[in-house]
Amino acid sequence: MCAPYPEEVLQGMGEFAIVGTDQRYCRQRKCEEPLNVTKLGSGDFPKQTVLRALVEVRFKDGEALLKTGEPQRRMGAIYVAGYGIECALKARICADRREFRLDRSFHHHDLRKLAETTALWPDLESDRDRLSRLTYLQSEWYVTMRYAARPYDANTVRRFINQAREFVKWLFEN
């Protein structure tokens, strides 16, 4: 079994995934079979490298859902792209604290609380445009979206993903 995921994701997943029987063979063959991931206990938290690599994966998932052209997929596009923001914030927290893994205390989905925990919070709080962007992103994304069905127009979804990408770019470049 092989995985169509970026090399960084596969390298960083460590004990969080089993990818076939021979990862090197699968990577050389560049197979398109799905990733076979085994779920570990709830005490295991992702590594910083995985969180950072998954940001782009989640944004591309959101873009792929948007590109289907199916209106019922648009909320799902925002939902998965929102997880990209969450992964970015959690990766930033790990980097700021020089921790290899995300601490259990950050295993929640509140984007603002995660942002407040980063070393960049003072800069973010004093920059009205960036703080406004975070507020917008949090107003459009919430973890319980999976239980809802709200219509979104394509432009709103595109705006959300673009704003998310801009926010994450700033988060990683500073």
- pLDDT, tens digit, 9 for 90 and up, residues 139-169: 999 989 989 888 999 999 999 999 999 999 9
| SS3 category, 24 | helix
Write the burial class of residue 160 (CB in 10 Å: 0-12 exposed, 13-18 middle, 19+ buried).
Answer: buried
- pLDDT of 8 strictly over 60: no
* Rounded Cα distance, 137 and 130, in Å: 11
Which of 19-28, 58-67, 105-114, 121-130 bottoms out in mean pLDDT, i.e. has the lowest?
19-28
- pLDDT of 86 strictly over 90: yes
Span 65-81, average pLDDT: 95
HSE-CB at 46 with a 13 A cutoff on CA atoms is 26
* Rounded Cα distance, 168 and 170, in Å: 5
Amino acid in the structure at residue 53? A
pLDDT at 91: 94
* Rounded Cα distance, 155 and 92, in Å: 29
> Which domains are delineated in the chain?
1-44 (no CATH), 45-173 (1.20.120.330)
Confidence band, pLDDT 50/70/90 cuts, at residue 33 = very low
